Chain A
Amino acid sequence: MDALDGNAIGGLLIDVFGTEMTAVRSTCATCGASRPVAELVVYNRAPGTVVRCRTCGSVLMVFVQAHGATGVDLTGLASLSQTDRLGRPDG
């Protein structure tokens, strides 16, 4: 199965974070690469969703859904930060 991208988990991310997240800028804790969540590499196979850095391949986020709850691991991320719609830092 080919990888998807962060657009595909927009609904899951709203479930977890309570807001639209695909336009948010992510920074990889391993290599420092920064890009919108929509551009991250997503493997979306039950029972979990694995999100990887498009530059170095490190695991950035893992979501596991079971019994109506979602387990979330964000330890591969250095940061998530809000940007404006064309990707520039917000504010």
Chain B
Amino acid sequence: MERTEVRRRLTWQVATVTSITRETASVATITLEPPEWPGHRAGQHLDVRLTAEDGYTAERSYSIASAPGEPLAITVERLEGGEVSPYLTEILRAGDELELRGPIGGYFVWERGDGGPLMLLAGGSGVVPLRSILRHRRRTGSDVPARLLYSARTLPDVIYRGEFDQYHDNAEVIYTLTRSQPPGWTGHTGRIDQALLAQAAWAGGANPLAFICGPTSFVETAAAGLVGLGYPPERVKTERFGATGGH
């Protein structure tokens, strides 16, 4: 097989923040303009580095929210007591500079030729790379059926809700609200478990391609559940944020 990968050193660069959009009370999307960007693939992430006046540095990884070909954007959830996310979501402004490197990742990536049907499972801000995949699917005119099962605490915590409400082209978003539900809520409630997966996920016999992203415990439960439904383990791709749900 011909080697297509281009070797490229990953270097830190200073990007300009072009806009900041608030998505929920604790989540913001930051659009960035790096001096050199080779283009990214849907599902990849980048590293952000903050440097204090005394030279102390803190690095975090954030999933890329935009589709390949769109202006580079990350979506960040503020974590209480975090070193980086409160700065990114509360203090950073359009016109500021931000040090980053990327794009990073070759495993948790979807390209049109990978096909589907696509089964996407998000826990909290784990929806960010899956949103990039859904946008990429639309932009490339892919007709593979796609379903996103999105676990959020409450309806106001749902990121990109306005965008997801517009999806009708063979793409479907199913919510489960784990902490509280609005009056009259008829959707799913509670954390993802085997019963909910059996109801909401594609059947294993359809040979689906699954991407799961979220807190570690969410990913473990969801991945084991899909394999239990007959999904081939090598077609269940996972990305874990750790305990906090941030990234």
- Which residues does A use to contact B, with CB under 8 Å? 1-8, 10-11, 14-15, 18-23, 36-39, 84-87, 90-91
Contacts and interface: CB of A to CB of B under 8 A. Distances in A.
A22 B47 contact: no
A2 B10 contact: no
B215 A2 contact: yes
Given A21-B106, A38-B105, A90-B1, 14 more contacts: A2-B242, A5-B238, A5-B239, A6-B107, A7-B45, A7-B108, A7-B239, A10-B45, A11-B61, A22-B106, A38-B237, A38-B239, A84-B1, A86-B234
B216 interface: yes
Contacts of B238: 5, 38-39
A38 B102 contact: no
Q: Give the bracket for the number of chain B residues in contact with chain A.
A: 20 to 34
A39 B233 CA distance: 11
A15 B104 CA distance: 11
B217 interface: yes
20 contacts: A2-B215, A2-B216, A2-B217, A4-B242, A5-B216, A5-B219, A5-B240, A7-B45, A7-B107, A11-B47, A11-B102, A14-B10, A20-B5, A22-B105, A38-B238, A85-B109, A85-B111, A86-B234, A86-B235, A90-B1
B108 A38 contact: yes
A2 B9 CA distance: 30
A38 B5 contact: no
A50 B237 CA distance: 21
Contact of B106 (A2, A11, A20): A20
Contacts of A39: 107, 238
Nearest to A3: B216
Nearest to A13: B104
B241 interface: yes
4 closest pairs, A vs B, by CB?
Answer: A38-B107, A2-B243, A2-B216, A10-B104
Nearest to B234: A87
A14 B1 contact: no
A86 B61 CA distance: 24
B1 A8 contact: no
A84 B2 CA distance: 11
Nearest to A19: B7
Contacts of A84: 1
Contacts of A10: 45, 61, 104-106
A18 B7 contact: yes
Nearest to B108: A7
B108 A22 contact: yes
Contacts of A18: 7, 9
Given A22-B107, A36-B107, A38-B108, A7 B240 contact: yes
Contacts of A21: 106
A37 B107 contact: yes
A4 B111 CA distance: 24
A11 B243 contact: no
Nearest to A89: B1
A38 B239 CA distance: 8
A12 to B, nearest CB: 9
Of the listed residues B47, B101, B239, the one surrounded by the most CB atoms of chain A closer than 10 A to its CB is B239
